[in-house]
Amino acid sequence: MSAKIIPERIREARESVGMTDEQFADAIGVSRQSVGTYETGAFTPRGDVFSRIIAVTRQPPAFFTAPRKHNAERFLTPTWRSLKRMQRPDRLRIGRRLEWAFYVAESLAEYVDLPPVHLPAIELDYEREGNERIEEIADQLREFWNAGFGPITDLAPLLEYNGVVVVEEPVRCEDMDAVSRWQGGRPYMLYAADQESNSRKLFNLAHELGHLVLHNGIEVNSRNLDRLEKQANRFAGAFLMPRRTFAREIANTTIDYFLSLKGRWRVAVAAMIYRCKELGILNADQIKYLWKQMNARGIRKREPLDNAFALSKPTVLSSAVQMLIENKVKMPTEIAEDVLLNATDVESLCSLPPGSLQNKVVAFPTLRSV
């Protein structure tokens, strides 16, 4: 008896490759209506169509037929660090990656204790409370993490150390920087490896941390989106540039001085200017003067020192995989099989070298006659 195809998996696989139902229908050689019927379970694809679905989505047959060990409850809509013009298929595709990170982490967590979630319980009435409260929360988190009030120059290890699962992947979407969501009691964050500026990456991570801390349990919708984004931005500024220390260092209003601060705080000059504005460190004329200097030098979009320092890659998922393989708890191929995903996808989600979880041709051992 052949295994039954799970209709929702066809949708999941389609979304994971960023295709609309129309594009998918073209790719597998059926009508758009047929795709709809497969995804709702009204009809099951024929064998040849199923083969094409496997070929197009590059997922193993088990992905479409086997139940998952770790079934997630319905996740809330993730918060996106992206431009509003980001296309829906891209949102769905990257959203699926975030969901898959959950399956991978849960599967690994059966064998490995991952860093426990260590975030303070924050009460924020996001509709009523304002910036002052967000400043307090950012300070509170620094104290909770014992991170002091100096520059935080590398955020991914700090996030992972405190239980956030962080994924760095090329997202092939220039309108999207990062995305985050609580999944199964643990915060998850995915950020674009193809973002060129490390200063911006640092800010993106802090922005998503803001969502995770401030907006846990809040469903994002078109009415609250702008407010949530502003609050996450304010949090990122407050977390990366605490007012008690950063404000004291604004001793000049030239771009060269701000660039020297960038070397120390690792945050973009533009973000520092915004921070000075929101803290009232500089007045409107001084802010205008700084923007003018930025424009005159042509560094408004791409700043010097954006990549003058390195950021660490996430290591938790890759370390867990390594522990299982080194201790012979799992074969490399089993890691991806356990989550019913293509090995290439799991390697990418775990920041592992390509091919490390795939079958390799091993030299046949010389047999010795006994």
Partner 1 sequence: MKTKTFQQRIETAFPYDTYANTLRALREGIAAGDDVIKGTPMFSSEVGDDMRGLIRRAGILMRIEEMCKAGDLPFKCTLTPMPRGTWHWLDIYSGDCHGHIVRTSDPSKFPKDTPNRQDARASNMPDLFETEAERIVRLAPPKLYTWLTYRASPDGRLSHALWQAPSAKDDEWLARINLMAVVVQKKSDDSKRPAKVDPKSKMKLKDNVVSMIDKKKNDDTKR
* Residues binding partner 1 (CB under 8 A): 110-116, 145-154, 157-158, 160-161, 245, 247-254, 257, 283, 286, 315-316, 319-320, 323, 327-329
For tokens 């915060």, the residue is 187
Amino acid at 326: E
Nearer to partner 1, 44 or 286 (CB): 286
Bridge partners (DSSP) of residue 179 are 80, 190
- 260 versus 358: smaller Cβ distance to partner 1: 260
Contact 52, 326 (CB under 8 A): no
Min dist CB 65 to partner 1, Å, is 28
Nearest distance, CB of residue 221 and partner 1, angstroms: 34
Q: Residue 90 corresponds to which tokens in the numbers above?
A: 């891209």
Residue 247 sits at φ, ψ, to 5 deg, of -60, -35
Residue 255 CB, shortest distance to partner 1, in Å, is: 12
Largest CA distance in the chain: 89
Instruction: Please give the sequence-ordered ranges of beta strands (E in DSSP) within 185-305, or none if there are none.
Output: 186-192
CB atoms within 10 A of CB 109: 15
Q: Answer for the pair 200, 306: CB distance below 8 angstroms, yes or no.
A: yes
Residue 37 or residue 315: which is nearer to partner 1 going by CB? 315
What is the closest distance, in whole angstroms, from the C-beta atom of residue 137 to partner 1 in the complex?
Answer: 18
Residues 354, 332 contacting (CB under 8 angstroms): no
Q: By C-beta, is 126 or 309 nearer to partner 1?
A: 309
**Residue 145 beta carbon to partner 1: minimum distance, rounded to whole angstroms:** 8
Least separation in angstroms between residue 248's CB and partner 1 is 5
As measured in angstroms, the least distance from the Cβ of 330 to partner 1 is 10
For residues 98 and 179, is the Cβ–Cβ distance under 8 A? yes
- The CA angle 20-196-353, to the nearest 5 degrees, is 75
Cβ(63)–Cβ(7) under 8 Å? no
CB 369, min distance to partner 1, A: 20
Angle at 144 between CA 260 and CA 207, to 5 degrees: 55
Comparison of 100 and 265: residue with beta carbon closer to partner 1? 265
- Please say which residue, 1 or 251, places its beta carbon nearer to partner 1: 251
Cα–Cα distance list, 66 to 8, 62, 63, 204, 362 (Å): 12, 5, 6, 36, 29
Phi then psi for residue 191, to 5 deg, are: -130, 155
Q: Which helix (H) or strand (E) element contains residue 166?
A: strand 165-169
Q: Residue 228 or 311: which CB sits closer to partner 1?
A: 311
> Which residue, 94 or 321, has its beta carbon nearer to partner 1?
321
Q: For strand 165-169 and strand 186-192, is the pairing parallel, antiparallel, or unpaired?
A: parallel
Which residue, 189 or 250, has its beta carbon nearer to partner 1? 250
φ, ψ for residue 66, nearest 5 deg: -90, 145
According to DSSP, the residues that pair with 186 across neighbouring strands are 183
Least distance CB 244 / partner 1 (angstroms): 8
